[in-house]
Structure 1
Amino acid sequence: MIVEDPLYGSFEVEEVLKALLLSKEMERLKDVHMAGPAFLINPFWNETRYEHSVGVMLLIRKLGGSLEEQVAGLLHDVSHTAFSHVIDLALANKQDDYHEQIKEQMIEESAIPAILKQFGFDYQQILFNDAQWQLLEQEAPLLCCDRIDYTLREIHRYFSVPLQEIQQFLTAINIVDEKIVLESSEWAIWFMDQYKKIVIDFFYDPRNICSYEWMAKAIQLGLESQDITPQDLLLTDSAFLMRLQASNSIEILQLLTNMSQPLKYSICSSEDNYDIWQKKKIRFVDPLVQTIDRTVPVSTLSTIAQTKIENLLNDSKTGIFLKFH
Structure 2
Amino acid sequence: MIIGDALYGHFEIEEVLEQLILSDEVQRLKDVHMAGPAYLQNPAWDETRYEHSLGVMLLIRKLGGTLEEQIAGLLHDISHTAFSHVIDLALENEADDYHEKIKADLIEHSAIPKLLSTYGYDYEQLLFDDQKWTLLEQEAPLLCCDRLDYTLREVHRYFEVPLYEIQSFIEDIQIIEGKIALKSVDWAVWFIDQYRKVVIDFFYDPRNICSYEWMAQIIRQGLADQALTMADLMVTDTAFIEKIKLINSESIQILLSRLEAPVSCVVCTSEENYDIYQKKKTRIVDPVLIIDGQLLPVSTVSDEAKVKVAKLRSDSERGIYLKFI
Same fold (TM over 0.5): yes
Given the alignment of the two structures, is residue 21 of structure 1 paired with residue 21 of structure 2, yes or no? yes
Q: How many residues align?
A: 325
Separation (CA, whole Å) in 2 of partners of 1:126 and 1:88 = 25
Separation (CA, whole Å) in 2 of partners of 1:293 and 1:68 = 28
Aligned pairs for 1:4-15 (under 5 A) are 4-15=4-15
CA shift, 1:316, in A, is: 1.2
CA shift, 1:190, in A, is: 0.3
Matching residue of 1:160? 160
Matching residue of 1:37? 37
Instruction: Say which SS state the counterpart of residue 4 (structure 1) adopts.
Output: strand
Separation (CA, whole Å) in 2 of partners of 1:143 and 1:318 = 23
Q: Which one-letter code corresponds to 2:51 in the other structure?
A: E
Unaligned segments of structure 1, at least 5 residues: none
Matching residue of 1:58? 58
- Contact persistence 1:143–1:285 (CA under 8 A): yes
- Contact persistence 1:33–1:84 (CA under 8 A): yes
Q: Which one-letter code corresponds to 1:235 in the other structure?
A: V
Separation (CA, whole Å) in 2 of partners of 1:179 and 1:317 = 26
Matching residue of 1:242? 242
Matching residue of 1:223? 223
Q: Which one-letter code corresponds to 1:161 in the other structure?
A: V
Given the alignment of the two structures, is residue 185 of structure 1 paired with residue 185 of structure 2, yes or no? yes
Separation (CA, whole Å) in 2 of partners of 1:194 and 1:317 = 18
Matching residue of 2:313? 313
- Contact persistence 1:65–1:135 (CA under 8 A): yes
**Alpha-carbon deviations, 1:50-92, whole Å to 9, x = none?**
0000000000000000000000000000000000000000000
Matching residue of 2:256? 256
Matching residue of 1:138? 138
- Contact persistence 1:227–1:243 (CA under 8 A): no
Separation (CA, whole Å) in 1 of partners of 2:311 and 2:93 = 25
Instruction: Say which SS state the counterpart of residue 37 (structure 2) adopts.
Output: helix
Matching residue of 2:103? 103
Separation (CA, whole Å) in 2 of partners of 1:293 and 1:324 = 53
**Considering only aligned residues, what root-mean-square deviation do their CA atoms show, in Å?**
0.6
Separation (CA, whole Å) in 1 of partners of 2:188 and 2:174 = 12
Matching residue of 1:275? 275
Matching residue of 2:123? 123
Identity, in percent, stands at: 63
Of the structure 1 ranges 208-217 and 290-299, higher mean CA displacement relative to structure 2 is found in 290-299
Instruction: Say which SS state the counterpart of residue 305 (structure 1) adopts.
Output: helix
Separation (CA, whole Å) in 1 of partners of 2:160 and 2:297 = 28
Separation (CA, whole Å) in 2 of partners of 1:317 and 1:292 = 34
Q: Which one-letter code corresponds to 1:147 in the other structure?
A: R
Runs of 4 or more, structure 1, over 2 Å off, are none
Q: Which one-letter code corresponds to 2:79 in the other structure?
A: S
CA shift, 1:2, in A, is: 0.6
**Alpha-carbon deviations, 1:166-209, whole Å to 9, x = none?**
00000000000000000111110000000000000000000000
Separation (CA, whole Å) in 2 of partners of 1:149 and 1:261 = 30
Separation (CA, whole Å) in 2 of partners of 1:304 and 1:251 = 49
